[in-house]
Structure 1
Amino acid sequence: MNKFYTLFILLLIGYSTQAEASDAIALKDTTEVLKLINQAYDNRLTSPEQTVSDAAKALALAEEIEYNVGGVHKFYRGIGEAYRVKGIGNYYLNQASKSIDDYLNALNAFKKINDVRSQGKVYNNIGNLYLDNNFSKALEYLQQALGIAEKLDDDQLKGSLYMNIGNVYYRKQSYYQALNYYNKSNLIFEKMGDTVNMIQCLQNRGVIYFHLNQFDTAEKLLLAANKAAKERDLNKPVASTNLTLASLYIAESRFTDAEKIVQEGLAYSELVKDEKLTSDYNYTIYQLEAKRKNYQSALYHLQLIYRQDSLIHTSNESTQINIIQEQFKRQAAEKENALQQQVQQNDRIKFWAVTVVAGLLLVVIALLISNVKRKAKTNEQLTDLNGEVSRQKENLDRINHHLEEIIDERTKDLQIKNKKLSEYSSYLSHQIRGPIATLRGLMNLEREGLVDEQECINMMDKCVSDIDQKIIEMSEMLNDTGKKVF
């Protein structure tokens, strides 16, 4: 038995050690996932391709953790955030189809764990996808996210949403409304010390002032954004800022500054591999050469611009996003059907389990009934035994009663004998005392010489004979209980 306990304790220790090792590995992997996600997010404005690559690695590792560890707290948050950041990378690479697919997968993961804050972030990202093709849809998602941010009092999310809502109004050419939201966003990011988003706000405000023809203010803001972005190696903001600066210099006929800033911006756009920005730069170069009246060069760059008609492009992209959403809904419906089938299968398993349990209960009930019958039989036997004991007790009572009668009879006999003894004693005291008194008197007379010796002897012999006769009579009376005392 001691060996068994020792083996059990060793197994328990081994299992505990293995569980601790598994938890340590899971924790290490979780840390690696978060590190990859943060790294991917930080690269979104520098190298969106690297963002997609790191996010994909984080996603694969997060799914592996979820599969191996499982449990109540599955690693859906890591999976959802990896999808979301991957979608951001694809967004900056102008891959709208891939981006919306990532966002919807992220949203599904966050809904499984009821992470409302992360859902708000995804709605914000989806709203950005609609900026260039469906303003009402963009505002719908952004307002939905803003409601979540205000309910949770999440300043970071509110700042991002104010900036993106401003982007919608900018594209709708409602510049003052856009500027109002940019200013609100900038206040939040200044309070939080979020340098990256402050650079975005500087750029956005510079763009607004450019469209309001306030070139000095616009140039000041854009140059500040350009400098800060270069200091932090944010390639995408540098390229975007230079594009607006180029347009501003062209408008002011500062062709040399425009050419310089275009070449720099074009290099940055190629560095981040943003085809849309490259196309925009080609168009800006076309504008520059046309204004400088270099028509041959302008025609060359115009031929480089290969874009679909804006209305068709907008319609197709919006339609493509809606199709992907519908596909995702269908996939969700298929998953729901699969889940229902699984539920039905589980119900069947439960039915058979209940049936087996019911059968076992019937067996247990049968055993209980059999046990009750055995107990009833045992009780009956005990009742018979109690009856026998009662009969034996009655016999003992009768015997005891008989013994009492015998004792009573003996007691009465003894009482009678005692009475006779008392009577004999009284009899002897009267019958024997007389001859003895006579003997004593004769002895006194003979001592004094008052009686003849021979006569005294004869009288004494007669007294002794009387005494002897009385003793014989007493003996006969003692042996004969029916004879009464004289």
Structure 2
Amino acid sequence: MLNESYQSILQKHFSFSSDIQLSLKDTASINRINKAAFNIRLTNPQKTVELADSALIYAKKLNYFFGIAEANRIKGVGLYYLSDTEKAVKSYVEALKYFKVLNDKKNEARVYNNFGNLYKEINYNKALVYYKKALSIANKLKIDEFTAGIYLNIATILRFQGNYKISLKYLEISKEIFAKTGDTINFITSLQNSGVSYYKLNDFETAKKRLFEAITQAKKHDLYKVIVGSNLALASIYLEQADYFKTEISINEGIKYSRMMGDNTSVNYYLYKAYELEVKRKNYPKALKYLKEVHYHDSLQLSRNLSDNIGKTSSHYLQLQKIQENELTIAKQKFKETQYWWLITLIISIVLLAALIGTVIFYFFQKRKQKKELKIQNTIATLEQKALQAMMNPHFVFNVINTIQYFIGINESKAANQILTGFARLMRKHLEICLKNNITLFEEIQYLNLYLSLEKIRFAEKMSYSINIDDAIDAEEIIIPSLLIQPFIENAMWHGLLPKEDGGWIQINFIRIDNLLSIKILDNGIGISNSSKSKAPSQHTSRGLELIHERVHLLNKINKTSIHITQTQTGEAGTEVIITIPI
């Protein structure tokens, strides 16, 4: 008997509840269970998996190969929406095996499309390879509705890569086919995606028309994710057009549907958009309120993620390895199917040359194991340096917010606007470069200028700074690790200049010596040795500098480079930091 939790869903797809048990005896009913499972994949993926498991049990009892294959494929889809990549891969591999036995090219293409979806957020190029495999089969079979779905997936990848014009070409093709075949959900998704692409291409009017239509249709079908994404794009367009009233309407509707979905990440995106809106309106107290909310949520998320970031990303990497191993399984199965007689020859060879082959196999697997372990170690090291790179000093953020609050309190709106605008630019630049392993020297200097100009506004005459660049340096061509210099400047500010009553200066010099970039950070503060002596034993040390040294160690290990950092006191006072980077 079926599990009771499935009854309410199955009854929607059978004429009478009593027919459910009777119809399980034939293959048609298995197909109907699979269809019911697939239809609820977007609203209840857990039920999709449970129904597919039931269909799988009955299909195996009847030895119904198509039912077994399709149940595995649909189970994989449900697991994909539940983010269980490893189990999804296993189900897809099983589905592909049975579809190949049946020579069912149409559904073989569907599985390739499913594999593309798995890779979509891991490896864009790999996803495109699978989508194009599926598209090749679909075009030969002339299956319009399936071809359109693959075009939509390819367009999504191209949009992620920034190829908006090519993405639009694929979207228009898919949209026309969805309209012709009556596939409403995918038609609405195409409308939203094309609206976002037109926005990125600065064709605001076409973008608004597409996004409005997507929202209207999505509300009829309860597609909350489409409503949330479309309103966020509309809010950005209205903000650029200075239509603040409509911006606020889009933000409020987006927050409403994000909360209905329980999507806190999207709520945070909308809060930041609300902050940008209030800055444009010059409503600084309200802007500050939204900025505090955004920073509060970001800080909570950061504190949750940092402790287990390495574990999760390493697990993610191992899942990717599992996908690759299963691809090898698929290749082996294909080999067995197409070259069976070679297997017989191989067995005879193994019998005759067992000792020699055993030695070779042992050597091969030992080497492979060592290579795989080294690759995993290097990947984990890379992920560690990304996690270290993602941190931002919360003391600096809260001090700036307090300074803004001070200026607002004394009705210094011009100063408040200046520091609020500067801080917004600094945060945006920080978020932009912290996602990259390496950036140009030009970008790093931009970031340092934003940071130092903000500190200059805060401390006025108590500090001065200068940035000097050697004429032999092409700042846009030289690539360096991101966020490497700022912690040393921050350290010079807080532990060197500020303890002095009359403040001081910071000088940053960029010099090229052959194939080395030398970065000298000089200050006339109290000196690094004096600063260390003046600290109480329990006083907190700079975590930022510790992270930099950890990052440099990892970068030297991964890239086999030789980045050097030295810190010395220049006399009775003052500090010199020298960073040398191979270029």
Q: TM range, normalised to the smaller chain?
A: 0.5 to 0.7
Residue 215, structure 1, aligned to residue 204, structure 2: yes
Once the two structures are superposed, the pairs formed by residues 444-483 of structure 1 within 5 Å of their partners are none
Name the residue aligned to 1:319: 317
2:162 & 2:25 partners in 1: Cα distance?
A: 49
- Which of 42, 47, 59 in structure 2 is aligned with 1:54? 47
Name the residue aligned to 2:39: 42
1:313 & 1:127 partners in 2: Cα distance?
A: 25
Asked whether the equivalents of residues 189 and 214 of structure 2 are also in contact (C-alpha less than 8 Å), the reply is: yes
Richer in helix (by share) = 1
1:267 & 1:36 partners in 2: Cα distance?
A: 34
> Structure 2: where are the runs of 5+ without partners?
1-18, 335-342, 345-583
Letter in 2 for 1:244: A
| Cα distance change on mapping 1:228 and 1:266 into 2, 3 Å | same
Task: Kindly state the Cα deviation for residue 108 of structure 1 after the two structures are TM-superposed.
Answer: 4.2
- Which of 255, 263, 266 in structure 1 is aligned with 2:255? 266
1:108 & 1:283 partners in 2: Cα distance?
A: 48
> Larger RCO: Structure 1 or Structure 2 (Cα < 8 Å, ≥ 6 residues apart)?
1
Name the residue aligned to 2:59: 66
Residue 80, structure 1, aligned to residue 72, structure 2: yes
Asked whether the equivalents of residues 76 and 89 of structure 2 are also in contact (C-alpha less than 8 Å), the reply is: no
Q: Deviations over 1:19-45 (max 9, x none)?
A: xx99954346852x5444434443444
- Which of 114, 118, 142 in structure 2 is aligned with 1:153? 142
2:199 & 2:329 partners in 1: Cα distance?
A: 46
TM-score, structure 1 normalization: 0.55
2:273 & 2:94 partners in 1: Cα distance?
A: 37
Task: Kindly state the Cα deviation for residue 170 of structure 1 after the two structures are TM-superposed.
Answer: 1.0
Task: Kindly state the Cα deviation for residue 65 of structure 1 after the two structures are TM-superposed.
Answer: 0.6
Residue 129, structure 1, aligned to residue 118, structure 2: yes
Once the two structures are superposed, the pairs formed by residues 237-316 of structure 1 within 5 Å of their partners are 237-274=226-263, 276-292=265-281, 293=284, 294-305=287-298, 306=301
| Cα distance change on mapping 1:102 and 1:87 into 2, 3 Å | farther
Task: Kindly state the Cα deviation for residue 301 of structure 1 after the two structures are TM-superposed.
Answer: 1.3
Asked whether the equivalents of residues 73 and 91 of structure 2 are also in contact (C-alpha less than 8 Å), the reply is: no
Asked whether the equivalents of residues 83 and 105 of structure 1 are also in contact (C-alpha less than 8 Å), the reply is: no
Task: Kindly state the Cα deviation for residue 188 of structure 1 after the two structures are TM-superposed.
Answer: 1.3
Residue 181, structure 1, aligned to residue 170, structure 2: yes
2:214 & 2:293 partners in 1: Cα distance?
A: 31
Q: Deviations over 1:80-133 (max 9, x none)?
A: 24224314533xxx5555654554454345345443212212222322333334
TM-score, structure 2 normalization: 0.46
Name the residue aligned to 1:119: 108
| Cα distance change on mapping 1:82 and 1:124 into 2, 3 Å | closer
1:270 & 1:108 partners in 2: Cα distance?
A: 41
Letter in 2 for 1:82: I
2:59 & 2:241 partners in 1: Cα distance?
A: 58
Task: Kindly state the Cα deviation for residue 224 of structure 1 after the two structures are TM-superposed.
Answer: 0.5
Q: Deviations over 1:168-187 (max 9, x none)?
A: 11111111111111111112
Name the residue aligned to 1:9: none
Asked whether the equivalents of residues 30 and 65 of structure 1 are also in contact (C-alpha less than 8 Å), the reply is: no
SS in 1 for 2:222: coil
- Aligned-CA RMSD value: 3.9
Letter in 2 for 1:121: R
Structure 1 window deviating more from structure 2 (122-131 vs 171-180): it is 122-131
Q: Deviations over 1:198-239 (max 9, x none)?
A: 111111111111111111111111001100111122222222
Letter in 1 for 2:191: L
Letter in 2 for 1:177: I
Richer in strand (by share) = 2
1:173 & 1:314 partners in 2: Cα distance?
A: 27
- Over the matched positions of the two proteins, sequence identity in percent amounts to 29
